[in-house]
A and B are shown apart, each in its own frame.
Chain A
Amino acid sequence: MVAPPHAPHPLLTVDDLVVSFDGPLGTYRALNGVSFQVGAGETLAILGESGSGKSVTVRAVMALLPRHSATIERGTIRYDGEELSALPVRRTRELSATEMAMVFQDSLTALNPVVRVGQQIAELFRVRQRTSRREAWRRAVAGLERVGIPNAARRAHDYPHQFSGGMRQRVVIAMALALRPRLLIADEPTTALDVTVQAQIMDLLRELREADGMAMILITHDLGVVADVADRVAVMYAGTVVESGPLRTVYDAPAHPYTRGLMASVPAPDRPGERLTPIEGMPPSPLATPAGCPFHPRCPVARAACRTDRPVLRVVATGHEAACHYAEEVMAGVDVRGAA
């Protein structure tokens, strides 16, 4: 299941992306040099604390950043060889749905409340594929059936609020996958759902991904889900990717103290009874990112150099990158948790 660490032709490449917002308190950088790539058919999980810039990253890819307050200062977004960041937004829209699509966190807000769900999906076929009204509706119903909506032909006439949360998220997925995109971006697709439904939706996504051979970017806080579905992992902290690599490598031998803390803050199924260690401190405010390594105020292994020199993402093993001056020591297992 694990794809080669770097597929020969990455589908999506984000390189050194810097995004800033004009806020009431001045301009601040939400993304400070984000780099990652996703190969065809590969699933990349993006992990990171709230506010680390995961959503901003994928919104930048889909060209959804608010036009007046957000600026892409630097960096490139490349899809299948095309540099989207240098092309008009229109180009991204052309690729949307057929090449890349997105599933949002809250299915209630992601659907137009005043349009029947069948109509919302059918519209896609009508506008993008110029099919007849009848054919579009037929395909919409088929799409709803595919994601496991019982009585799809009847339910297609319902409005979003008439569905339960889980069913509605299925509708959202049906819509995103209607034109069989090659890359699906799912930004916390299950966070708004209760636990049993979460698992059903994840299973559905996994199944559809396999059926369509599609690549996926999955943003989630659930390390268990990541372990189940991801091929590779990227960990974000304070607007940068601090570590990325194949799932097993990152889980078994994290090279960044933050990743290590992340793993330690979650109960491991094979080591019950172990004490959990939350990461001390708070993430930095984007208005006052510390000098040097952004993680240094919370890092249990920080040294003098960390306060002045900003570490860059570098290869620490095959396909495994980390942004820490002492990545090798962290990988080798210097006792990070002893600092608590």
Chain B
Amino acid sequence: MSDGVPGSAVLGTPVVPTGDGRPDGADAPPVVVPRRRRRRLRLWIPLGVIAAYLVAGVIGPLIARYDPIATSVADRLLPPGSRMSDGGLALLGTDQVGRDLLPQIMQGARISLLVGAATLLLAGTVGAALGILCGYLGGAVDATVMRLADIQLAFPSILLAVFVAGVLGSSVTNVVLTLSITTWPIFARVARAQTLATRSRDFANAARTLGAGPWHVVRHCVLPAVAGPLLVIATVQLGFVIVAEASLSFLSLGIPAGTPSWGTTIANGRDYLASAWWIATLPGLALAVFVVCVGVLGDELRDRSDPNLSTR
């Protein structure tokens, strides 16, 4: 209680800030330049790789057409770099029925990226919206939605997939639906936790004391705080979703046969791992590189979107 220091009149006029702490916002010393360059690489390398995947997925199949029924017994299990019977070069080898792997992987990228992006968009939007709603309102809304999320998390996604495939049939849309139902609780939980932590923070209260209503507080205080963690979750989930799609397709609960995704190609190559390693390995590598790049990009974007980190 007795921290009082009476007699503050000795100090200078208020509008001339004398010796008010350290120099504000001084630029970092030049020592950090190499780090800056490293950080630029951390942004541009994954961006470049992801762009390459997108290009391959979008226009690759137009150039090197993939035909699911064009099998050729003579070209079975050719290793990467072989000549095929029609004279073409099988850059990545062929599979067990003699189809060129490169177009197959590019076609697969198309499906896998589409499923991944659509699922994240759907699950992310719905999950974030519900999570923010729950975190902000609390009470009965919160209890109901979060119990639903708990049930969802406890429910095996394969069972759900069986159910959806059985009732609605198997299609790309239904795979996206199934995976979205499986993933939204993760987004909802993170969004809710972050909202809870932010809604009664001082700066949210400060906004309120300046007349901000709930909508304004959510938009300006909660959303920016939720966005960073969600971005990180999304990059992790993207890998999970693409792999999950592969497992569903492997169980014939996902993408219908004839539309190759990375998952179906990997599944095809499983029986030939000893004799023809490339069938399963190359799409697997494509998947791994993609997921890693997305992860690095996500981390980097998060760091960049946080001004408290950007000057370090």
Contact = CB atoms under 8 A, between A and B. Distances in A.
Interface in B1-45: 1-22, 24-25
A292 interface: no
A148 B1 contact: no
Contact of A199 (B8, B212, B224, B306): B8
A6 B156 CA distance: 69
Contacts of A97: 209-211
A176 B210 contact: yes
Contact of A172 (B7, B10, B206): B206
A276 B2 contact: yes
A223 B6 contact: yes
Contact of B138 (A67, A266, A268, A278): A67
A265 B1 contact: yes
A197 B14 CA distance: 9
Interface stretch (B52-60, B97-105, B195-203): B195-203
B221 interface: yes
Contact of A266 (B2, B201, B225): B2
Contacts of B3: 221-222
Contact of B20 (A66, A114, A127, A166): A166
A104 to B, nearest CB: 5
A12 to B, nearest CB: 14
A112 B17 contact: no
Nearest to B19: A196
Contacts of A223: 4, 6
A231 B67 CA distance: 88
A269 B7 contact: yes
A176 B210 CA distance: 7
Nearest to A222: B4
A150 B8 contact: no
Contact of B14 (A90, A204, A227): A204
A166 B17 contact: yes
B6 A93 contact: no
A224 B6 contact: yes
A164 B14 contact: no
A143 B139 CA distance: 40
B210 A148 contact: no
Main secondary structure of the interface of B (DSSP, over half): loop
B308 interface: yes
B205 interface: yes
Interface string B200-233: 1111011111111100100011001100000000
Interface in A75-125: 90, 93-94, 96-98, 100-102, 104, 106, 109-115, 123-124
A68 B208 CA distance: 17
A96 B211 contact: yes
Given A124-B210, A148-B14, A199-B11, A104 B4 contact: no
Nearest to A61: B209
B22 A164 contact: yes
B211 A203 contact: no
A203 B209 contact: no
A215 interface: no
B311 interface: yes
A165 B201 CA distance: 18
B14 to A, nearest CB: 4
Interface string A174-196: 01101100000000000000111
Contact of A224 (B4, B14, B200, B212): B4
B22 A279 contact: no
A111 B208 contact: no
B88 interface: no
**Counting chain A CB atoms within 10 Å of each CB, which of B16, B17, B19 scores highest?**
B17
Given A159-B308, A222-B3, A93 B211 contact: yes
A271 to B, nearest CB: 12
B9 A228 contact: yes
B166 interface: no
B244 to A, nearest CB: 33
B258 interface: no
Contacts of A131: none
B206 A96 contact: no
A6 B205 CA distance: 31
A339 B6 CA distance: 26
Contact of A200 (B12, B138, B221, B306): B12
A114 B306 CA distance: 7
Contacts of A268: 6
Given A148-B14, A148-B15, A148-B16, A195 B307 contact: no
Nearest to A95: B211
A144 to B, nearest CB: 12
A62 B209 contact: yes
Contacts of A222: 3-6
A309 interface: no
B21 A197 contact: yes
Given A68-B139, A97-B210, A164 B6 contact: no
A182 to B, nearest CB: 14
Contact of A62 (B12, B13, B15, B208): B208
B21 A166 contact: yes
Contacts of B18: 200
Task: List 4 tightest A-B contacts by C-beta distance, closest first.
Answer: A224-B6, A164-B21, A204-B14, A148-B15
5 contacts: A97-B209, A111-B206, A197-B20, A222-B4, A269-B7
Given A159-B307, A164-B21, A204-B14, 14 more contacts: A62-B205, A93-B208, A101-B209, A104-B205, A104-B206, A114-B305, A124-B210, A127-B212, A175-B206, A222-B4, A224-B5, A225-B6, A267-B6, A278-B2
Interface of A: 49-50, 59, 62-64, 66-68, 90, 93-94, 96-98, 100-102, 104, 106, 109-115, 123-124, 127-128, 148-150, 155, 158-159, 161-167, 170, 172, 175-176, 178-179, 194-204, 207, 221-225, 227-228, 262, 265-269, 276, 278-279
